């Protein structure tokens, strides 16, 4: 029976506490490590063009990461976050969405934005904070955003995007849109209060939002075993009355199919879904981190053998949709394009100082005008000292 507390009441007469592992959730996987499908797995409906587009977005993400991490080490950009080993999660989930669906990311989902059509020049303009940067140099280098591609600008505070995603999806529902919102976050963000507020609000309001948790094992240097207890993050959604699915985050086909089905469920009946993608962050947390201080090389090597790009490449090869020569030519071309885009971005001017106080108010407030005036004078004095 049910009661006004909205809980199912089944009477028993002996006390039995339910612990954090009372519910175990299996992991959805379609591809074996050798790129073959499991015998009882159903292959997602993907044509060759879609499948290759996903592969090329993952490869482009990895090559972009490699080049920009090197650029940070050379002092050409200030900061960078790579997604080594997690490319499948961002790209395959984004590929399962429609262009009108909104994406709210954390900071390791450049693959989703790239797959949506953000160009290499746009990435470089943002990373070098030049005059063509959409954020006009007012964001951290990796905090991308693009209105035209329905990709909300990334925020620095952790987990703030989770309740924002719930609110945006609620607006989609009220407007009667045939669209959903996807919200990325790491398992570390699931320890923040915003996670719990966002999920509870989404469950009660029945908002069409996909909470996509990248459980990559570490919140910067803190292993998952020191972050939380219980059966991962997926089990928490059950507590909020939200449908949930755990998926192998290194399996491109499984991530695509999980997200596709989640979106379809929400279009049929508005309600949230949580997907927990199990993976491993092969690289450092950021260009300011050194993982050798908190984990072993042997641990990294074990996960490196489950590389998502390699497994998906094997599947494409088995289908006859990719050959080595074509793959190598495409990668070589991408490297050249990335390098050329970086050189173009470096040569562009920085945004004017006035842009610091624009775009927020219809008229710039007096106190900001005064601050801008002082900044201009200080800048002029600094330039004069440099010339002396």
Active site residues: 281, 285, 294
Torsion of CA 193, 291, 73, 344, to 10 degrees: -50
Q: How far, in Å, are 33, 226, 360 from residue 320 at the CA level?
A: 18, 44, 52
CB atoms within 10 A of CB 247: 27
- The DSSP-derived string for 97-156 is S-TTSEEE--SS-HHHHHHHT--HHHHHHHHTT-TT-TTTT-S-TT---BTTTTEEPP-S
Three-state DSSP at 219 gives strand
Q: Which two tokens stand for residue 71?
A: 């650029």
Torsion of CA 130, 124, 118, 143, to 10 degrees: -70
Dist CA 225 CA 247 (whole Å)? 19
Angle subtended by helix axes 308-319 and 252-268, to nearest 10: 90
Q: How far, in Å, are 187, 190, 280 from residue 215 at the CA level?
A: 5, 10, 7
Q: How far is CA 303 from the centre of its chain?
A: 20
**H or E element that contains 339:** helix 324-346
Q: Which residues lie closer than 8 Å to 283 by C-beta, 6 or more apart? A: 65, 69, 82, 83, 84, 85, 291
């Amino acid at each position: 029976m049910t009661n006004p507390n909205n809980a199912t009441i089944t009477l028993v007469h002996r006390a039995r506490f339910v612990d954090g592992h009372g519910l175990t959730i299996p992991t959805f996987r379609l591809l074996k490590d050798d790129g073959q499908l499991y015998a009882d797995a159903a292959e997602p409906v993907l044509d060759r063009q879609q499948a290759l587009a996903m592969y090329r977005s993952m490869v482009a993400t990895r090559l972009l990461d490699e080049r920009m991490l090197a650029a940070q080490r050379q002092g050409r950009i200030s900061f960078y976050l790579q997604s080594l080993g997690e490319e499948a999660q961002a790209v395959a989930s984004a590929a399962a969405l429609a262009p009108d669906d909104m994406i709210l990311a954390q900071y390791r989902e450049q693959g989703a934005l790239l797959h949506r059509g953000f160009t290499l020049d746009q990435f470089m303009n943002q990373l070098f904070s030049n005059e063509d940067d959409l954020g006009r140099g007012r964001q951290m280098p990796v905090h991308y955003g693009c209105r035209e591609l329905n990709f909300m600008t990334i925020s620095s505070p952790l987990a703030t995007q989770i309740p924002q995603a719930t609110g945006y999806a609620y607006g989609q529902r009220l407007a009667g849109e045939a669209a959903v919102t996807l919200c990325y976050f790491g398992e570390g963000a699931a320890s923040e209060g915003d996670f719990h507020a966002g999920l509870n609000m989404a469950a009660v309001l029945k908002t069409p939002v996909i909470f996509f948790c990248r459980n990559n094992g570490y919140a910067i240097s803190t292993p998952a075993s020191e972050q939380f207890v219980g059966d991962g993050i997926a089990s928490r959604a059950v507590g909020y009355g939200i449908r949930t699915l755990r998926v192998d985050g290194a399996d491109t086909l499984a991530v695509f199919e999980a997200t596709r089905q989640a979106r379809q469920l929400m279009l049929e009946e508005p309600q949230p879904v949580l997907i927990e993608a199990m993976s491993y962050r092969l690289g450092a947390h950021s260009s300011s981190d050194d993982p050798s201080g908190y984990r072993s090389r042997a641990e990294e090597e074990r996960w490196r053998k489950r590389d998502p790009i390699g497994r998906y490449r094997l599947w494409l090869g088995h289908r006859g949709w990719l050959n080595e020569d074509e793959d190598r030519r495409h990668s070589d071309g991408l490297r050249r394009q990335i390098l050329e885009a970086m050189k173009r971005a470096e040569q562009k001017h920085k945004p004017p100082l006035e842009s610091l106080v624009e775009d927020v108010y219809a008229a710039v407030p007096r106190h900001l005008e005064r601050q801008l005036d002082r900044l201009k004078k200080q800048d002029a004095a600094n330039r004069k000292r440099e010339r002396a």
